[in-house]
Structure 1
Amino acid sequence: MTTLRIGTYNLRGLRDDVPALVRVISAMGADLVCLQEAPRLAGWRARCRALAARCGLRLVAGQGVAGVAVLAAPWVRLVHAESRLLRVFLGLEPRGLAMAVVRAGPALLAVGSVHLDLDGRARLHHAAEAVARLRRMAAPYGAPVVLGGDVNESPHQPAWRYLAGQLTDCYAAAPRGDGLTFSSRRPLHRIDGLFAAPGIRVVSCGGVDASGADLAGATDHLPVVAEVRLGE
């Protein structure tokens, strides 16, 4: 049995208090972190690696056009990584999926990071596309999947309902705290989540024990961290 802490966090393009952001990511104590609005375009890889190093992590997957990435702790071994742009919708931002198959002790896991659109039609399409692509990548390894992301809608809406129907909404399965993630200064909505394959046991899922000032200053979202167990 392997216990892992997996997080998801929207960084708002590092436009806020980066030292506070580093402290929050470090406080997550996560073995794997799914990032959204990570550094993009020219130099994205070097900037993601630099941020990861400041948090004691390393970059294992990224999609630079879409600003999604996966970070991992040093002890987690990378087996395979892919990144994909999702279907392009005319007039909307490019959306992508960063994916990695990792080995944590004896267990394999496929983890993906996605940032869904503000447009409802694109959001629902990309939710289904992300789940399908992540499963397709994981299948040759027999790895269960975890998808983390900024869903940009609440749990009662279609894309979230789709994700929670295909996978387990970690917070709904084992809630810790109120679960609200947006905005960081006045959290009223749960729009960021982690979704795990049914065979993964969710021990707990919720926020991060960091200072209120750091959480409010780091970015406009709050992070989500789930503790899960594999191989039970």
Structure 2
Amino acid sequence: MTIRVGTYNLHGLRDSVPALARVIADARADVLCVQEAPRFLRWRARRAALAAASGLSVATPGRVGGVAVLVGPRARVLHAETRRLRAFLGLERRALAVAVVQAEGARLAVGSLHLDLHDAARMRHAVEAVALMEDVAARHGAAVVLAGDVNEHPHRPAWRYLAGRLADCYAVAPEGDGLTFPAGKPSARIDGVFAARGTHVVSCGGVRAASADLTGASDHLPVVAELRVGH
């Protein structure tokens, strides 16, 4: 069976929330990693309302780092947590949101990550996130999937590290042009889904949604990987 795992930077819900909900629904993700989710005023209610409008629910606790994992009805949540990553003086606090899910016999440890614009912090957090994901996956007998806004190009060190430890799903089975930023005129692939190498990547690319919704929902475009785990 296949599981659809996606990633989407929500731009703090500063754009059209109805368009955002439609794009998320069109993604048909069983598990969706989000970044720049609301984390201040009424953050729980705003996250829950967006998820519900998109046919999903919020799996992970906490607001730190603006990261979260949303799940669809096919995914049963076995474990969820949000872990703070190393603090860097003067930089935004980053975190990793993790949900261990089971869907029709396949078990995945899915992490949502938003890396910094600062080179050293970005690399440190990439290494830290992979170690945390491997630990959670080992404890729960799950395959790792790490997704998010990497904030750099695929030839740069942090992306290369992630793609060295896990498979860059788009590079394995590309669908569409793969560019994710900026949404209105995309010129860079800075958002990605990375999966354990034992996972078969069926496809990975953008979401088939109305052009007006994609440009009106966020400054990023979503990415969805279709994965086959097990037999």
Q: Corresponding residue for 1:180? A: 179
Equivalent residues in 2 for 1:155-174, closer than 5 Å: 155-174=154-173
SS of residue paired to 1:161? helix
Displacement of 1:134 in angstroms is: 1.1
Aligned partner of 1:140: which letter? R
Q: How far did residue 75 of structure 1 move? A: 2.4
Q: CA deviation at 1:62?
A: 4.1
Q: Does 1:57 align with 2:81?
A: no
**3-state SS of the aligned residue for 1:48?**
helix
Aligned to 2:147: 148
Aligned to 2:94: 95
**1:118-177: CA deviation from partner (whole Å, max 9, x where unpaired):** 001000000010111111111111101100100000000000000000000000000001
The question of whether the paired residues in 2 share the 8 Å contact of 1:112 and 1:134 is answered with: yes
Root-mean-square deviation over aligned CA pairs: 0.9
Tell me, what secondary structure is at the counterpart of 1:154?
Answer: coil
- Asked whether the equivalents of residues 63 and 96 of structure 1 are also in contact (C-alpha less than 8 Å), the reply is no
Task: Give the letter aligned to residue 146 of structure 1.
Answer: V
Q: In the TM superposition, what is the alpha-carbon distance from 1:58 to its structure 2 partner?
A: 0.5
What is the CA distance between 1:116 and its match in structure 2? 0.1
3-state SS of paired residue (1:205): strand
Cα separation, 2, equivalents of 1:210 and 1:42: 29
Structure 2 counterpart SS, 1:131: helix
Decide whether the 8 Å contact of 1:62 with 1:70 is kept in 2.
no
Moved more, 187-196 or 71-80: 71-80
Distance in 2, Cα, partners of 1:120 & 1:222:
23
Name the structure 1 match of 2:228.
229
For this pair of structures, how many residues does the alignment match? 231
The residue identity in structure 1 corresponding to 2:14 is R
- Cα distance in 2, alignment partners of residues 124 and 156 from structure 1: 13
Q: Which position in structure 2 is the counterpart of 1:5?
A: 4
1:38-49 equivalent positions in 2, closer than 5 A: 38-49=37-48
Cα shift at 1:17: 0.7
Give the residue type in structure 2 aligned to 1:230. Answer: V
Partner of residue 216, structure 1: 215
Q: Distance in 2 between matches of 1:217 and 1:116?
A: 24
Contact 1:7 1:223 in 2 (8 A): yes
Q: CA deviation at 1:63?
A: 3.8
Within 2, Cα distance between the matches of 1:205 and 1:62? 27
- Structure 1 unaligned blocks of 5 or more: none
Give the TM-score taking structure 1 as reference length: 0.98
SS state at 1:122 partner: helix
Q: Please, which runs of 5 or more residues in structure 2 have no aligned partner?
A: none
Alignment check: 8 A CA contact 1:183 1:189 kept:
yes
Task: Tell me how far 1:40 sits from its aligned partner.
Answer: 0.6
1:89-122 Cα offsets, whole Å, 9 max, x none, are 0000010000011111111110000000000100
What does the per-residue CA deviation read over 1:169-209, in whole Å, with 9 as the maximum and x for residues that have no partner? Answer: 00000000110000000100000000000011000000011
SS class of match (2:228): strand
**Map of 1:73 onto structure 2:** 72
Q: CA deviation at 1:48?
A: 1.1
Specify the SS of the correspondent of 2:213.
helix
